[in-house]
Amino acid sequence: MTSRPVIDNLSSFWMPFTANRQFKAAPRLLESAKGMYYRTTDGREVLDGCAGLWCVNAGHSRDEIVAAITQQLNTLDFAPTFQMGHPLAFEAASKVAELMPAGLDRIFFTNSGSESVDTALKIALAYHRARGEGQRTRLIGRERGYHGVGFGGISVGGIAPNRKTYSGALLPAVDHLPHTHNLEHNAFSKGQPAWGAHLADELERIVTLHDASTIAAVIVEPVAGSTGVLVPPQGYLQKLRDICTKHGILLIFDEVITGFGRLGKATASEYFGVTPDLLTMAKAINNAAIPMGAVAASRTIHDTVVNNGAPGAIELFHGYTYSAHPAAAAAAVATLDLYRRDDLFGRAASLAPAFEAAAHALHDAKHVKDVRNLGLVAGIELEPRDGAPGARAYEAFVKCFEAGVLVRFTGDILAFSPPLIVSEEQIAHIFGTVRNVLATVQ
């Protein structure tokens, strides 16, 4: 039952990435959460098939994390990290660094994925400038990439509606790789598709066009999430790495979704065995309990920027009031300890085959035109309804929610990324519910 009266005025909150009028006409309100389940304001349990927004990897309201935050707020609510510090900021950075690929052990804290992306792009420019190549300012993203909503992130990003309204104000020196989605070759691939590594060679074409001496960095999501789960073709990321290295271009992996166990390893970089120069993260860094993000920089990049500054001078003019906020840092330390104690990344790896099988069992479900997956991520692409793109997936999302399962949808793609504590029965329940729902969707 409802513990509080349902709010009767929904008008003040201008909701992000939401069809505000449609939502407010028929709201879906979550009131509490524990473990794998949300509870709605009308007292229903909803199984979380997407870890909130790909972020609550240890499950909801974990006691250890709540206790760490509570204790921290009672001890030190805020401390500046500009020309000041507090011990937990350094402890959190060390713990994050331990999980990063070898050599990426210098950690800059932010408050979100968007800020992490803009921070990484700025560090890339600062690095080239510090080493005397300040003309390297061009940034290369990829079609269908999602890198948050800052002006840097939407400029290198490749999601058309996120760019359209702001198109006159995007960063000027940006180009894009082609995306890797191709159902003709790769439909119903399990894990990494076999076709498409050659698409990385497009980077050579872009380098020829602009000249390497103008290009600072390439940024990609190792597995593209928000656009609807695009798994990199076999060999693709290694090719990007090799071309970047050859031309002195930095490679940035945006691991805001893939970081902290989603693929069964601490990072996608570790999973694929491809190491970038900069790695962005957020979300599961502290189980999303308090906003936090970070950028891991290679020691070379860090040392080049920091050692280039005059003694006593600030080396990087960048930072946020809440960089390494004490409560967020406490949550990060507790979360990373929990991941290790419960071996949640190993758990994700061992669940991946069952997750893959359950997702691909929907290959013959109504409306389904592709199923794709890696680790504990899956995407199910639907045939769009004639003249109404996105409407079919939206209907499926609403019906799943009414049936007690939370999924994500983007365009006509349903996306799945449960907390890493999910059980095999719950995996079966998530995909079984989706199958039943799709049978009823127009």
Q: Is 256 in the site for ligand PLP (CB under 6 A)?
A: yes
Q: Is 287 in the site for ligand PLP (CB under 6 A)?
A: no
Q: Does 257 bind ligand PLP (CB under 6 A)?
A: yes
- Locate 419 and state its tokens: 């907390």
Residues 19-58 that bind ligand PLP (CB under 6 A): none
Query: Within a 10 A sphere around the Cβ of 394, how many other Cβ atoms?
Result: 17
Position 147 contacts ligand PLP (CB under 6 A): yes
Smallest gap from Cβ 226 to ligand PLP, in A, equals: 5
Q: Min. distance of Cβ 2 from ligand PLP in angstroms? A: 29
Task: Report strand pairing: 405-406 vs 45-48.
Answer: parallel
- Give min distance, CB of 221 to ligand PLP, in A: 5
Q: Nearer Cβ to ligand PLP, position 143 or 204? A: 143
Taking CB under 6 A as the criterion, the residue among 52, 101, 148, 259 binding ligand PLP is 148
User: To the nearest 10°, the Cα dihedral for 60, 65, 66, 67?
Assistant: 150
Q: Which of 158, 193, 225, 418 binds ligand PLP (CB under 6 A)?
A: 225
**Residue 223: CB minimum distance to ligand PLP, A:** 9
Query: Could you tell me the smallest distance in angstroms from the CB atom of residue 423 to ligand PLP?
Result: 25
Q: Which residues contact 85 (CB under 8 A, 6 or more apart)?
A: 79
Q: How many CB atoms lie within 10 A of CB 4?
A: 7
Of 35-43, 86-94, 220-228, 329-337, which part binds ligand PLP (CB under 6 A)?
220-228
| Binding segment toward ligand PLP, per CB under 6 A, in 159-167, 197-205, 221-229, 233-241 | 221-229
Residues 6+ apart with CB under 8 A from 418: 36, 48, 49, 50, 51, 376, 426, 427, 430
Place of tokens 């006159």: 168
SS3 404: coil
How far CA 281 is from CA of 145, 266, 291, 374, 406, in Å, comes to 15, 11, 12, 19, 24
Whose Cβ is closer to ligand PLP: residue 229's or residue 437's?
Answer: 229
Q: Is residue 262 a contact point for ligand PLP (CB under 6 A)?
A: no
Phi, psi dihedral angles at 331 (to 5 degrees): -65, -40
- 118 lies in the binding site for ligand PLP (CB under 6 A): no
- 220, 218, 180, 222: which is closest to 197 by C-alpha? 180
| Residue 345 binds ligand PLP, judged by CB under 6 A | no
Nearest distance, CB of residue 12 and ligand PLP, angstroms: 22
Q: Nearest residue by C-beta to ligand PLP?
A: 113
CA 279 to CA 254: how far, in whole Å?
6
Residue 158 C-beta: closest distance to ligand PLP, Å: 12
Binding mask 77-116 for ligand PLP (x = CB under 6 A): -----------------------------------xxx--
Q: How far is residue 146's CA from residue 221's CA, in Å, rounded to a whole number?
A: 8
Minimum distance from residue 372 beta carbon to ligand PLP (Å): 16
Task: Report if residue 380 touches ligand PLP, rule: CB under 6 A.
Answer: no
Sign for the pseudo-dihedral over CA of 70, 75, 80, 86: negative
Interacting residue with ligand PLP among 118, 175, 254, 270 (CB under 6 A): 254
Q: How many beta carbons lie within 10 A of that of residue 424, not counting itself? A: 12
Measured from the CB atom, the residue of 113 and 379 that comes closer to ligand PLP is: 113
Assigned token pair, 242: 């090799």
Binding site for ligand PLP (CB under 6 A): 112-114, 117, 146-148, 221, 225-226, 254, 256-257, 282
